[in-house]
Amino acid sequence: MARRIGLLGCGRIGRVHAASIAANPRAELAVAYDPFEAAAGEVAAQHGGVAATDARVVLDDDSIDAVVIASPTPTHVELLTQAVRAGKAVLCEKPIDLDLARVDACAAELAGAEAGVMIGFNRRFDPSIRQVQERVAAGEIGRLEQLTIISRDPAPPPLSYVRESGGLFRDMTIHDFDLARFFLGEVVEVTATGANLVDPAIGEAGDIDSAVVVLRGREGALASITNSRRATYGYDQRVEAFGSDATLSVVNQRPTSVLYSDAGVTDVAAPYLNFFLDRYAAAYAAELDHLLDRMDDGAAPSPAFADGRAALVLADAALESLRTGRTVKVPA
Amino acid sequence: MARRIGLLGCGRIGRVHAASIAANPRAELAVAYDPFEAAAGEVAAQHGGVAATDARVVLDDDSIDAVVIASPTPTHVELLTQAVRAGKAVLCEKPIDLDLARVDACAAELAGAEAGVMIGFNRRFDPSIRQVQERVAAGEIGRLEQLTIISRDPAPPPLSYVRESGGLFRDMTIHDFDLARFFLGEVVEVTATGANLVDPAIGEAGDIDSAVVVLRGREGALASITNSRRATYGYDQRVEAFGSDATLSVVNQRPTSVLYSDAGVTDVAAPYLNFFLDRYAAAYAAELDHLLDRMDDGAAPSPAFADGRAALVLADAALESLRTGRTVKVPA
Amino acid sequence: MARRIGLLGCGRIGRVHAASIAANPRAELAVAYDPFEAAAGEVAAQHGGVAATDARVVLDDDSIDAVVIASPTPTHVELLTQAVRAGKAVLCEKPIDLDLARVDACAAELAGAEAGVMIGFNRRFDPSIRQVQERVAAGEIGRLEQLTIISRDPAPPPLSYVRESGGLFRDMTIHDFDLARFFLGEVVEVTATGANLVDPAIGEAGDIDSAVVVLRGREGALASITNSRRATYGYDQRVEAFGSDATLSVVNQRPTSVLYSDAGVTDVAAPYLNFFLDRYAAAYAAELDHLLDRMDDGAAPSPAFADGRAALVLADAALESLRTGRTVKVPA
Amino acid sequence: MARRIGLLGCGRIGRVHAASIAANPRAELAVAYDPFEAAAGEVAAQHGGVAATDARVVLDDDSIDAVVIASPTPTHVELLTQAVRAGKAVLCEKPIDLDLARVDACAAELAGAEAGVMIGFNRRFDPSIRQVQERVAAGEIGRLEQLTIISRDPAPPPLSYVRESGGLFRDMTIHDFDLARFFLGEVVEVTATGANLVDPAIGEAGDIDSAVVVLRGREGALASITNSRRATYGYDQRVEAFGSDATLSVVNQRPTSVLYSDAGVTDVAAPYLNFFLDRYAAAYAAELDHLLDRMDDGAAPSPAFADGRAALVLADAALESLRTGRTVKVPA
């Protein structure tokens, strides 16, 4: 029997989840909720289930086994809390919230029940990244000494989004903070530098668009994260795990394997997969499978609520480092 | 409204088509036919529709718009003929038949109606190969002078299959003959060499397992096809279109983008996509879309019956060249 | 003490050898001979030694240990014969001669002494090709089943050169015939196809400019050679040794390791090393070292006169195959 | 007429310069000086000139046009000062000195004449790096926003060397500081992190062996430098210049272009050029050519004394940042 899933939020990322649910034989879309009727209706029409403009249609329906929270960040905590109380499995998009105090209050209120909430750090489910992490964890490269993450978006989001985003670190780098933790375990120190180079309007909105953040893991490894809000050549998603014995990398991916050569250039490759919908399509599917597996076996999902919180702590530490020009110790 | 499709044959390739049909929102699997009840039942259970052990269940059902013929080669002509007569759109797996006389008799009997039959030369629908063909056709490389096809399977099929296959040229190279025609247009000359290197049992069965075939296109271009029934490193599918101005290639593809380096090796890449189910997954989906598009607009599909015949003519010419040690002119 | 070398011929390839000699601490250029005084003088001025317009200045000088024959092909046999008689070590550029009868007459006259003559098949000394050949010979790929050689020049030579060249097979493919023998040992069968696609004037001169030649080695392996007189993207020199256990390839090389990406293209690589002077610079140096080593240890050089003859036999067989449209057995 | 060069110091790097001088037709090695007679004698015997154990043999010889200072770092300032006073052109290995005060005293004493001293930052002369820098400077990538330098040695130097080296930043990273300046112009801010991961003995000697340093250029660009004293897979020398319009990179280089594939791996590449003698062979030759060009035209060489000083200032700033955990402003 397919698990009945309620989707909370039918924007861009909500549609990704709707498609994953529809394509997974173990799941079916029961309700597509969005305050905008058109959005909810469109998703239901395309991927199944009924449309709703009231989240209670999902939360109050006992036949719904799980919810995917893909609504705007400020609504996450409220929906997550209610869904946990309603006894549903939860997959919540990152970040849990922009305010650490609110995250902690949520955990206090749920009194441990939040441990079962899965956070949508999709990169952990990318087949290439996951394979590298598993091989590193298995000791294949010896001791992990340096982790180099390069993560650049093809183009900046709209300014209206930037203003509500919580800033580069909480919005974009948070994926890389989680990725660093995926490889390093806990991070003890954050040193951040940033700049406004891509678009002056982003600076005027009080944010940066370019950054290099250095992390120190508890075992001593150094990780660097290089971010930009814009890469003309496409979505740039690279990871290199440098070890005492060997090195494993994930390089960029392309939709075709066509090469071109002429009198001026050789072996010109196709453009990269352009953005997360394409680059992480398999990851979104695997992420949902993980949720379904955990619902089946009752074990705790990973990444979990605590991972969502930890990434936010690193984002806050990076912001503090950026403001003060100092390396910041991460509270245990 | 989704097109209702009848699947004739539920073996390995039949299941590929069943999955394509089930995943395509424009189509649905109406009936899965196979003389083996278990096979038909399994496919219907997984991909929808009802199971049948009598092909008439498909052919006599007027609600079925199209059939996909994925049964053993000797049954193709009969099923294809009946399906055309029943007014259904037809996608028939390659080869139409191993015997050119039978193919011609079929065409004579259908008196032109066979022109609407689509033949399953999947490679024409691979996004990389198709892009290269379109760019070549658009003149991007100038005049096409040399086409280099390397096509090697990961491992030989069972001997029982080899014995019924019609030989390497009709069974395996036929894809490459069609690919050559896709790029060159008509072929006027075939020169074939072959050897039995992979497994002596294949030689004892009267077949070769390794070959280099050279074709001359009507515009003068030379094409070479290099085949082997076994490549230890996986499914090897490369095409290089060498032109007077530039060159376009399709290189092998991998499921991940992981690289590994240590004291002995650098940038070790992941294994290739191992066989046609993985390598041509997108091609099978696009092939079905092409059939559905042609059903919608009423235009003739491509590759069509005549393309299936032409590839068989080249296979026969290659066999004659192999036997005689002479270049063979292809009958117009 | 450096070996004193006489250079016979100061054209393009003669200058390559002059530079190799000057750069090798074990050798010095004693005399640069060329019937054109300016050519000889220029080479001597740049690389040392005296200039001469009479070859006897070299042949009669007992202090000269070895000669490098880099004169026009029709003079090879005469100079080689005299140099051997004068007791000098000889490195002779390919081909020995365009006429097999003349090659055989030369051997008859020298009565075995020709065995000590080294032929300048430079590719055997390329570090990448040599490494692959050695690893294949050591059994690293299992049984060698298919050898794929792609060899394309950046641009055709002048028509005047084409007319005197003996044709594509004896002039250009001869390198590939030797390369095939380097990997396969003796070749028993030749099947050639060719075309005039690059420049109609080459066809009017009675030659082809594009070819695919298939060889069968005595152990059964198939080799294909793909040639063109012109590749817009540069000098194309690839070899792939496909074996029962593994495959080793030599891919093209570049002078820098720069990559470029922008909104339209990714990882655009630098142009290839453009022609043999650059691509095989290390090979020419290693070739000379081999000659010097053999002079030191008295062993026979390789490739030797017999290899030069064997490659010419394959060129003649290919021409016959091209003319007759038949596979040609190579005389033992 | 070849320039007569005096070599001061015949250790490992001195021998690299001796070989460059001997191979350059515009230069000749006049005197090889080293306090160790055997070292001086060996170099003179192999590359020409006379051996000397007293530097005055070089400095007092008016026929000597230029000196290359390749002696231990503590002797640089003294030899450089005397050579400039003796009117000789000077190429001095990096770093000028480990002590900025001493560098400034040297400049004060030479009162401007030090401007003509060339510093041996070899990477500026690597054909790939130079090409990228020139293309960036020509505006090909738009505005340079992020520079990513990865620089790892194959193996740590002996501990005795580490103890005298002035530490990772002054000894190894100094090349990367210069490289950053080559691309960014002046650097205004340094943020350094480091760790002792490779060998505890390096930590006991008071040094680090792993580092990530972030620089901010005066135009706002961010540069990151990732260093390790050990990379099992060889000498890792990569540069990526990320711009507003495009990106240019230098990737690692190999001595051959051999690829290997089998049942477990595909396209295994050859090991990288293992260390600076191989990787930067062309750079050392071009560096000497630059010195000779400047001697011919009388213009100031680049990189010059001031560049040597500026890189040392960055190393000192990085050390301070490492000690304090703060971003350090670079004094103008």
Q: Could you write out the DSSP letters of every residue in D54-103?
A: STHHHHT-TT--EEEE-S-GGGHHHHHHHHHHTT-EEEEPSPS-S-HHHH
pLDDT at B299 over 90: yes
D210 touching chain A per CB within 8 A: yes
* Probe site for chain A from C237, C258, C266 (most A CB atoms < 10 A): C266
Residue A332: which residues within 8 A CB-CB, separation 6 or more? none
Dihedral sign, CA of C316, C322, C323, C326? positive
pLDDT of residue C26 exceeding 90, the answer is yes
Contact between chains at C249 and D259 (C-beta distance less than 8 A): yes
**Distance in Å, alpha carbon of C4 to nearest chain B alpha carbon:** 41
**A31 DSSP β-pair partners:** A6, A50
Residue D230: closest CA among chain B residues belongs to which residue? B263
CB atoms near residue C134 (< 10 Å): 10
Residues in chain D with CB shorter than 8 Å from the CB of A211 are: 222
Q: Band of the pLDDT at C1, cuts 50, 70, 90?
A: confident
Asked whether the predicted pLDDT for residue C61 surpasses 90, the reply is yes
The residue behind tokens 């020419």 is C284
State whether residue C265 sits within 8 Å of chain A by CB: yes
Distance CA A181, CA D32 (A): 55
Residue B261 forms contact with D (CB below 8 Å): yes
Question: Other C-beta atoms within 10 Å of B108: how many?
Answer: 10
CA B184 to chain CA centroid, Å, is 17
Return the SS3 of A96. Answer: coil
Question: CA triplet B124, B129, B132: central angle to 5 degrees?
Answer: 120
Give the burial class of B64: count Cβ atoms within 10 A of its Cβ; 0-12 exposed, 13-18 middle, 19 or more buried. buried
Average pLDDT over residues D264-272: 92
Percentage of chain D modeled with pLDDT above 70:
100
Asked if B233 and D271 come within 8 Å (Cβ–Cβ), the reply is no
Of the pLDDT bands very low, low, confident and very high (cuts 50, 70, 90), residue A270 is: confident
Q: Do B29 and B67 touch, CB atoms closer than 8 A?
A: no
The beta-carbon neighbor of D258 closest among C250, C259, C261 is C250
Q: Where are the alpha helices (DSSP H) in chain D?
A: 12-23, 37-47, 56-59, 76-85, 100-110, 127-137, 159-164, 168-171, 173-184, 200-204, 276-279, 281-297, 305-324
Provide the greatest CA pair distance for chain D.
67
Of B121, B84, B90, B10, nearest to B294 by C-alpha is B90
Quick one: pLDDT at residue B277? 87
By the CB < 8 Å criterion, does A148 face chain B? no
pLDDT of residue B322: 98
Pick from B191, B221, B228: CB nearest C145? B228
Question: Which burial class, exposed, middle or buried, applies to C35 when counting CB atoms under 10 A from its CB (0-12, 13-18, 19+)?
Answer: middle
Residues 6+ apart with CB under 8 A from A267: A259, A260, A261, C267, C268, C269
Q: Which amino acid is at B269?
A: A
Enumerate residues 6+ apart whose C-beta is below 8 A from C107: C114, C305, C309
- pLDDT for the residue A296: 96
Contact at CB, A262 and C234, closer than 8 angstroms: no
Chain D hits for B271, Cβ within 8 Å: 264-266
B201 to B154, B160, B228, C222, D46: CA distances (angstroms):
17, 11, 15, 19, 62
Neighbours of chain B (3+ CB pairs under 8 A): A, C, D
Determine how β-strand C258-262 pairs with β-strand D246-250: antiparallel
Residues 168-207, chain D: which have Cβ within 8 Å of A? 189, 191, 193-195, 197-198
State how far the Cα of B311 lies from the Cα of C236, in Å rounded to an integer: 31
pLDDT of B1 above 80: no
User: What is the C-alpha to C-alpha distance for residues A67 and A62, in angstroms, rounded to an integer?
Assistant: 12
Look-up of token digits 């003509």: D116
pLDDT, mean of residues A162-183:
97
The interface predicted TM-score (ipTM) is 0.95
Question: How many angstroms separate the CA atoms of D12 and A117, rounded?
Answer: 60
Query: Which domains are assigned to chain D?
Result: 3-116 (3.40.50.720), 124-284+310-329 (3.30.360.10)
Confidence band for A25, pLDDT divided at 50, 70 and 90: confident
Task: Answer whether C290's CB lies under 8 Å from C307's CB.
Answer: no
pLDDT of A232 higher than 90? yes
- Segment B320-324 mean pLDDT: 98
Nearest-CA distance B284 → chain C (Å): 27
Mean pLDDT, chain B, rounded, equals 96
Say yes or no: D299 contacts chain C, CB-CB below 8 A: no
The pLDDT of residue B332 is 76
**pLDDT, tens digit (0-9, with 9 covering 90-100), for B115-129:** 999 999 999 999 999
Dump strand ranges (E) for chain A: 3-8, 27-33, 50-52, 66-69, 89-92, 118-119, 144-152, 187-195, 210-217, 222-228, 236-243, 246-250, 258-262, 268-269, 328-329
Q: Is B274 on the interface with D (CB under 8 A)?
A: no
Cα(A142)–Cα(D288) distance, rounded to whole angstroms?
41
What letters, b where the CB count within 10 A reaches 16 and e where it falls short, cover D83-114? bbebebbbbbbbbbbbbbeebeebbeebeeeb
Provide the total of helices (H) and of strands (E) in chain A, helices listed first.
13, 15
Band of pLDDT at residue A211, cut at 50, 70 and 90:
very high
Q: B45 touching A, CB under 8 A?
A: no
Residues 6+ apart with CB under 8 A from A56: none
Interface size C-D, in CB pairs within 8 Å, comes to 65
Cβ distance C271 to A265 less than 8 Å, yes or no, reads yes
Tally of CB atoms within 10 A around A170: 24
Contacts of B331 (CB under 8 A, 6+ apart): B313
CB B288 within 8 A of CB D259: no
Task: Compute the average pLDDT of residues A132-154.
Answer: 98
Instruction: Confirm if A237 and B256 have CB atoms less than 8 A apart.
Output: no
Which residue type does A130 have? Answer: R
Backbone dihedral region of B9: left (phi > 0), alpha (psi from -120 to 50 degrees) or beta?
A: left
**C247: nearest CA partner in chain B:** B233
Instruction: Give CA separation, D99 vs B130, D77, D118, D186, D309, in Å.
Output: 64, 10, 18, 20, 10
> What's the CA gap between B124 and B287, in Å, rounded?
8
Q: Tell me the three state secondary structure of residue D317.
A: helix
Q: Do C233 and B246 touch (CB under 8 A)?
A: yes
D161 touches C: beta carbon within 8 Å:
no
With a cut of 90, say whether residue C15 has pLDDT above it.
yes
Buried residues in B143-171 as b, exposed as e (16+ CB within 10 A): ebbbbbbbbbbbebeeeeebeebbbbbbb
Which residue among A234, A261, A272 sits closest to C233, beta carbon to beta carbon? A261
- For residues D286 and D125, the answer to whether their CB atoms sit within 8 Å is yes
CA dihedral angle for residue B137, residue B139, residue B141, residue B145, rounded to 10 degrees? 70
DSSP C89-122: EEEEPSPS-S-HHHHHHHHHHHTTGGGG-EE--G
Exposure class string for B266-302: b at 16+ Cβ within 10 A, else e:
bbbbbbbbeebeebbbbbbbbbbebbbebbeeeeebe
Task: Supply angle C-alpha B259, B264, B267, rounded to 5.
Answer: 20
Contact across the interface for A246 and B253, Cβ inside 8 Å: no
Structure tokens at C42: 């220029």
> Tokens 């640089």 map to which residue?
D76
* Run of H or E residues at D51: strand D50-52
Question: Burial, C202: exposed, middle or buried (Cβ in 10 Å; 0-12, 13-18, 19+)?
Answer: buried
When CB atoms are compared, the residue of D146, D197, D233 closest to A145 is: D197
Q: What one-character-per-residue DSSP string does C22-61 give?
A: HH-TTEEEEEEE-SSHHHHHHHHHHH-SEEESSTHHHHT-
User: Contacts of residue A325 in chain D, CB cutoff 8 Å?
Assistant: 191, 326-327
For residue C256, which residues of chain D lie inside 8 Å, CB to CB?
127-128, 131, 250
Which residue in chain D is spatially nearest to A155 when comparing CA positions? Answer: D244
Q: Indicate the residue of D131, D252, D256 with minimum beta-carbon distance to C256.
A: D131
All partners of chain A with 3 or more CB pairs under 8 angstroms: B, C, D
Question: With contacts defined as CB-CB under 8 Å, which chain D residues touch A233?
Answer: 246-247
Q: Assess D147–A contact: CB distance below 8 Å, yes or no.
A: no
Please work out, in degrees rounded to the nearest 5, the angle formed at the alpha carbon of residue B177 by the alpha carbons of B171 and B183: 150
Asked if the C-beta of B265 comes within 8 angstroms of chain D's C-beta atoms, the answer is: yes
Q: Cis bond leading into B255, ω under 30°?
A: no
Q: What's the DSSP call for residue D205?
A: T
The mean per-residue pLDDT over the stretch A183-189 comes to 97
Which pLDDT does position A37 carry in this prediction?
A: 96
Single out the residue of A153, A10, A24, A150 nearest to residue A93, CA to CA. A10
What pLDDT does residue D78 have? Answer: 97
- Residue C257 to residue D253, Cβ atoms within 8 A: yes
Q: Which residue has the tokens 């992490």?
A: A133
| Mean model confidence pLDDT for chain A | 96
Q: Which residue has the tokens 């247009």?
A: B185
Q: What is the mean pLDDT of residues B126-151?
A: 98
Single-letter amino acid, residue D254: R
Segment D141-154 shows an average pLDDT of 98
A301 preceded by a cis bond (ω within 30 of 0): no
> SS in 3 state form for B265-321?
CECEECCCCCCHHHHCHHHHHHHHHHHHHHHHHCCCCCCEHHHHHHHHHHHHHHHHH
Residue D41 has pLDDT above 80, yes or no: yes
What is the C-alpha separation between D63 and D133, in angstroms, rounded? Answer: 37
B265 contacts on D by Cβ (under 8 Å):
233, 265, 268-269, 271
What is the percent of chain D where pLDDT is above 90?
96
> Among B233, B254, B263, whose Cβ lies nearest the Cβ of D262?
B233
Q: Does B66 touch chain C (CB under 8 A)?
A: no
Min Cα–Cα distance to chain A from B249, Å: 5
Task: Report the DSSP pairing between strands A210-217 and A187-195.
Answer: antiparallel
Q: Does C259 touch chain D (CB under 8 A)?
A: yes
B148 close to A (CB below 8 A): no
A214 close contact with D: CB closer than 8 A: yes
Pair D330, D223: CB distance under 8 Å: no
**Interface membership of A267 toward C (CB under 8 Å):** yes
Residues of B in contact with D272 (CB under 8 A): 266
What tens digit of pLDDT does each residue of D98-140 get?
999 999 999 999 999 999 999 999 999 999 999 999 999 999 9
